[in-house]
């Protein structure tokens, strides 16, 4: 336990900031804001001991490769090599960034989060992403992310909802209907639609 607690999440080496791959790339702005003047580049390294996937030996550091998560510049991933079989591998960030993608999953799913609140055109979603995250995406990229991540996003939301229902000990009825409410806002007629559980009368979504 003490070994885990004593492992650093990041450390400085001259003008280089070595950062553990347990730190989300979305949090790099923190290091830029508070430590940016002390380093010229960031190098991600494996937080857990790097072991050769081929022979199981401990691997040695062997340079680094450039990456651009969320189009950040000056980011590299440490590369490792096995002293026994010469197998190489690079520090993994796949729990945050889908393979072959330039953006973290959280950025890719931003448009879907906005869509779950209200309908917005892709250009407006692009503008909100830039405003909220300082990352410029064109509307075609926003559309691609939304179509690619839609199924997994909905599945995750459903799993989270089921977990919440289980924690508060509510059993879904399995039969659902919708209710509607009409009202006026600033002189404009508005309709509110809600999907409801027919047995518990709980609002599932609106």
pLDDT at res. 3: 41
pLDDT at res. 127: 95
Between the alpha carbon of residue 14 and those of residues 18, 36, 51, 62, 194, the distances in Å are 10, 13, 27, 18, 58
Helix, strand, coil: what percent of the chain each, to 5? 35, 30, 35
Q: What is the pLDDT along the chain (206 residues), one digit of tens a residue?
A: 334 445 789 999 888 999 999 999 988 888 888 888 889 999 999 998 888 988 989 999 999 999 988 888 889 999 999 999 999 999 999 999 988 888 999 999 999 999 888 888 999 999 999 998 888 899 999 999 999 999 988 888 888 888 887 887 777 778 888 888 898 888 888 898 888 888 888 887 78
Q: Token digits for 198?
A: 């027919």
Q: Look up residue 94 and give its DSSP letter.
A: T
pLDDT at res. 6: 59
Q: Are 177 and 196 in contact (CB under 8 A)?
A: yes
Phi, psi (deg, nearest 5) at residue 95: -75, -15
Distance, in Å, from the CA atom of 206 to the CA atom of 202, rounded to the nearest integer, reads 11
pLDDT at res. 1: 34
Distance, in Å, from the CA atom of 160 to the CA atom of 164, rounded to the nearest integer, reads 6
Q: Token digits for 35?
A: 């430590």
Coil, strand or helix at 38: helix
Q: Tell me which H or E stretch contains 23.
A: none
pLDDT at res. 183: 87
pTM of the model: 0.69
pLDDT at res. 49: 82
pLDDT at res. 17: 94
pLDDT at res. 79: 94
Q: Are 96 and 72 in contact (CB under 8 A)?
A: no
Angle at 119 between CA 115 and CA 124, to 5 degrees: 85
Between the alpha carbon of residue 96 and those of residues 3, 5, 74, 168, 186, the distances in Å are 25, 23, 18, 30, 43
Query: What does DSSP say about strands 60-67 and 75-81: parallel, antiparallel, or unpaired?
Result: antiparallel
pLDDT at res. 163: 86
pLDDT tens, position by position, 166-190: 887 777 778 888 888 898 888 888 8
pLDDT at res. 125: 94
pLDDT at res. 5: 44
């Amino acid at each position: 336990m003490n070994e885990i607690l004593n492992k650093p999440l990041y450390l400085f080496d001259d003008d280089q900031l070595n950062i553990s791959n347990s730190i989300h790339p979305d949090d790099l702005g923190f290091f830029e804001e508070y430590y940016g003047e002390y380093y010229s580049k960031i190098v991600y390294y494996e937080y857990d001991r790097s072991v050769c996937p081929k022979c199981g030996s401990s691997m040695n550091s062997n340079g680094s490769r450039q990456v651009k998560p969320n189009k950040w510049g000056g980011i590299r991933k440490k590369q490792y090599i096995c002293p026994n079989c010469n197998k190489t591998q690079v520090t993994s960030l796949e729990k945050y960034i889908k393979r072959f993608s330039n953006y973290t999953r959280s950025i890719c799913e931003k448009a879907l989060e906005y869509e779950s609140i209200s309908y917005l055109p892709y250009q407006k979603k692009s503008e909100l992403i830039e405003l909220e995250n300082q990352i410029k995406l064109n509307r075609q990229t926003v559309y691609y992310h939304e179509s690619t991540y839609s199924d997994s996003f909905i599945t995750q939301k459903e799993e989270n909802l089921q977990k919440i229902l289980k924690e508060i000990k509510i059993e879904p009825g399995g039969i659902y209907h919708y209710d509607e409410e009409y009202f006026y806002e600033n002189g404009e007629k508005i309709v509110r639609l809600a999907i409801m559980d027919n047995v518990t009368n709980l609002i599932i979504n609106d």
